[in-house]
Amino acid sequence: MRNNIERVYFTEEMIQTRVKELGTQLSEDYRGKEPLLLGVLKGSFIFLADLSRHMDMLCDIEFITASSYGAGTETSGEVKITKALDSVVEGRHVIIVEDILDTGLTLEFLKKYLSSLNPASLKICTFLDKPSRRKVPLRADYVGFECVDAFYVGYGLDYAGHYRNLPFIGSLKPDIYA
Ligand code: 5GP
């Protein structure tokens, strides 16, 4: 699996240091609020697991599945919710936890949908942010790292279902896509 990586952009150490900082920041910002961490599956599962363990507070954890990518590396532009929410959002302080913010179409859609459920507050926490790719003017409230336009795998991010379990974030060798 590691032989297929062309370049490592974020090492395991960089990731863990930054996630700890984000968790500490969220713990301060949400003190006494019992936030609902809402992970967008599947990509956010590792980030959410690490982030939540750096939050020293009561919080609820929930997942939603929204997908705008097929099996390839380009967004289809169409967002679908394929796993509905099991928790009540009304009146809750909701933090959407996402792996990567790219065109912004997925999070714009989710933000509108969740806003319609009347949360007490709604913020976005994304691990990676690719601002150069944005198609809608959406900004995350908490960002792990800004990154250049590349296709990343690892730390939850996949290519055709694989590489999510890499502890670092990198790009694939071009012949893997061939
Ligand atoms: P957006 O709707 O912002 O274009 O896309 C968000 C989703 O696209 C992410 O949650 C992720 O699933 C996928 N995505 C965007 N960029 C990348 C990338 O560089 N690598 C991987 N593996 N997925 C990406």
Which domains are present in the chain? 2-69+76-177 (3.40.50.2020)
102 Cα–ligand 1 center, Å: 6
Q: Is 86 a catalytic residue?
A: no
100 Cα–ligand 1 center, Å: 6
Residues 6+ apart with CB under 8 A from 92: 35, 36, 60, 119, 120
* Ligand 1 near 125 CB (within 6 A): no
Measured distance CA(120)–CA(91) in Å, rounded? 4
Q: Which two tokens stand for residue 144?
A: 């792990």
Q: What is the pTM of this model?
A: 0.94
- What is the residue-level pLDDT of the chain in tens, covering all 178 positions? 899 999 999 999 999 999 999 999 999 999 999 999 999 999 999 999 999 999 999 999 999 988 765 545 566 667 878 777 877 899 999 999 999 999 999 999 999 999 999 999 999 999 999 999 999 999 999 999 999 999 999 999 999 999 999 999 999 999 998 8
Catalytic hit among 50, 60, 86, 102: 102
* Ligand 1 near 104 CB (within 6 A): yes
* Ligand 1 near 50 CB (within 6 A): no
Write the CA distances from 60 to 33, 52, 71, 87, integer angstroms: 11, 9, 31, 9
